[in-house]
Amino acid sequence: MSEKRRSIATWVRWIGTILSLGLFAWLVTRLDWPLLADKLTGLNPWALALAVGLYLASQAFNTLRWCVLLWTRGVSISYWQAFRIAWSGIFASNFLPSTIGGDGLRMAAILPYTRSKSVAFGSIALDRLINMANYACLLPLPLWAFGDRLNLLFALALPFDLRQLADKYFPKITGALREWASRPAAFGWAFLAAWPSNLAIMLANYVIARQLGVEISFAQVVAVQTVGYFLSVLPISINGYGVREVTFTTLLVALGASLEQASAMAVITRFLAVLVTVPGALWFSRVASDVAEKA
């Protein structure tokens, strides 16, 4: 990527973040603050603890999904070593573009274990693609929950030849897919690991929603989370800040939640998502220094 294009991309991310956060701030100004405070103080501590545990379990399965891909290519790394690297990556994502900014740290940190840039990049790229494929399986639920309001998005995507676009604009990713193509079992096991990883977060969000008094089914929570995921991975904001909150608030209100309930859920679930990255802060400096020493 040229310096000019990189600069434009950076500006787009910052502008997107500011606009999204600005829109969410505007929504917040419409809140009934006493009612919101009442809902927050009414949360059961045990429910919050359960939600945190589910978020942590989700990240543990994320690491397992990545490990499956690494071990298939003969990379000699333990689950604990990969766990520390992955956790450092999700911590770094709090301050980097999109929700995948920490992947650069993961790729650099895994290089000493594999000595192959293609394996390092391929494992990260496929890890993300498999997770997206898992969410793609859930797309019928948003269509069921929100109907024609989402049909336009899919109609716009249909005219494009996705394979041709991938080969043209993402040759490294398509190359990684071909490298792992001779090991189909890796895709299967990694895909299976993605299910508990994603469903754990959805279950945690369902627990929070019910605690806030939102009359919503688990399937509807899955629908909201799926739409929020695909919008958050777009490189138009820092770690999806603002984009995710506006999406959650808008969709939950569409499903019958009050603005106070929807905003509270958006804020609380964001807080939990950041909270579980704290362990990564403990290892971030160590992982970053190891990368610098072995560069």
Mean pLDDT of 116-137: 86
Top-confidence residue, 16 or 138: 138
Mean pLDDT of 217-240: 81
Angle subtended at Cα 151 by Cα 15 and Cα 265, rounded to the nearest 5 degrees: 55
Which pLDDT belongs to residue 204?
94
CA-wise closest residue to 94 among 207, 240, 222, 208: 240
pLDDT digits (tens, 9 = 90+) for 36-50: 566 667 778 888 889
Mean pLDDT of 250-260: 87
CA-CA distance, 9 to 18, in Å (whole number)? 14
Non-local (6+) Cβ contacts of 74 within 8 A are none
Mean pLDDT of 226-249: 76
Which pLDDT belongs to residue 87?
85
- Residue pair 201/56 in contact (Cβ under 8 Å)? The answer is no
Predicted confidence (pLDDT) at residue 161 exceeds the cutoff of 50: no
Which pLDDT belongs to residue 228?
85
Q: Alpha-carbon dihedral of residues 84, 86, 88, 93, nearest 10 degrees?
A: -170
Which pLDDT belongs to residue 4?
54
Non-local (6+) Cβ contacts of 93 within 8 A are 99, 100, 101, 102, 103, 239, 277
- What are residue 98's phi and psi, to 5 degrees? 55, -155
pTM: 0.73
Which pLDDT belongs to residue 250?
86
Top-confidence residue, 168 or 271: 271
Share of the chain above pLDDT 90, in %: 15
DSSP string, 24-40: HHHHHTTS-HHHHHHHH
Assigned token pair, 245? 């909150």
